[in-house]
Chains A and B, each alone.
Chain A
Amino acid sequence: QTVVTQEPSFSVSPGGTVTLTCGLSSGSVSTSYFPSWYQQTPGQTPRTLIYSTNTRSSGVPDRFSGSILGNKAALTITGAQADDESDYYCVLSMNSGVWVFGGGTKLTVL
C-alpha cells in the first residue's frame, strides 16, 4: 500500500517562512492527487487550510499557500506566527476513490 510521507517535525522562527511537504513512498505527487492540507491543535477538530493543491479554504489567511514542488505537494507558511504551532496533515486521493493521510508534521514556532 502506498504511504504518504511528511516530515515528522519542523521548527520555524516567528516571522519566518517554512515549507512542509507531502510525498509518496513510490512515485510523484501531482495535481491529480488533489493534495489538501489540514491544521490541528491538540484537542481540537482539524481545520481545512488548502484543498486541491492550492485553493485556500474560507477564512484562511493568505500567508498559507499550497503548491507542487518537485515531486511533492507543499504547504508554505509565510510570516509564521505563534498560533501556527500545530500539527499539519496532508491527504492525497489515490485515484481509486480512496484517500490516504500523511503521518502529520508537528510544527514548532520558536
Chain B
Amino acid sequence: QVQLVESGGGVVQPGRSLRLSCAASGFTFSSYAMHWVRQAPGKGLEWVAVILYDGTNKYYADSVKGRFTISRDNSKNTLYLQMNSLRAEDTAVYYCANGYCSGTSCPPWYWGQGTLVTVSS
C-alpha cells in the first residue's frame, strides 16, 4: 500500500531555514508528480508546490515562491521541501501527497500524516 512519511518538522526562528523530507513506498515513485500541501492551525488546506515525475518542472504558490524549493531524489524515493527565510505565517502542518499521475494535471491523491513546522522566536 502507498505510504508517505514526512519528517524534518520542528520549531525554527523567523528568517531561518528548514528542510522537510517525505519518504515514499508502495508505488513507483519516479512515475508520479508529488505535492506539498500545508495547513495552518485551525485553517484550511493551502497548496504549496508540485514537482513533476522526473523533477524537470516545479510550480509554487505565490506565498512561497522564491523562498521554498521542492526537489526529489527518485533513486531514494524521497521528496524534499527546502524552506528558507521562514516567517510566522509559514507555521503549519506540512503534508506530502502523490499526484495520481505524472504531469501537471494530477491533483494530490494519497497523503502522508504530516509534519508540524512552527516558526517562532
Which residues does A use to contact B, with CB under 8 Å?
A: 1, 34, 36, 38, 40, 45-48, 51-52, 57, 87, 89, 91, 93, 95-104
Contact = CB atoms under 8 A, between A and B. Distances in A.
A108 B37 CA distance: 25
B50 interface: yes
Contacts of A97: 50, 57, 59, 104
Nearest to B103: A97
Interface string B69-112: 00000000000000000000000000100001000111111111
Contacts of B112: 45
B105 A93 contact: yes
Contact of B45 (A51, A57, A95, A104): A104
A51 B109 contact: yes
Instruction: Please name the 8 residue pairs, one residue from A and one from B, whose CB atoms are nearest each other, closest first.
Output: A97-B59, A36-B107, A104-B44, A99-B47, A101-B45, A97-B104, A45-B111, A34-B105
A57 B46 CA distance: 21
Interface of B: 35, 37, 44-47, 50, 57, 59-62, 95, 100, 104-114
A98 B63 CA distance: 12
A52 to B, nearest CB: 7
23 contacts: A34-B106, A34-B107, A36-B107, A45-B95, A45-B111, A45-B112, A46-B95, A46-B111, A48-B107, A48-B109, A48-B110, A48-B111, A52-B107, A96-B59, A97-B104, A98-B59, A98-B61, A99-B35, A99-B107, A101-B45, A101-B46, A101-B47, A104-B45
Contact of B47 (A45, A91, A95): A91
Contacts of A48: 107-111
Contacts of B107: 34, 36, 48, 51-52, 91, 93, 99
Contacts of B100: 51-52
Contacts of A103: 44
B2 to A, nearest CB: 10
B105 A52 contact: yes
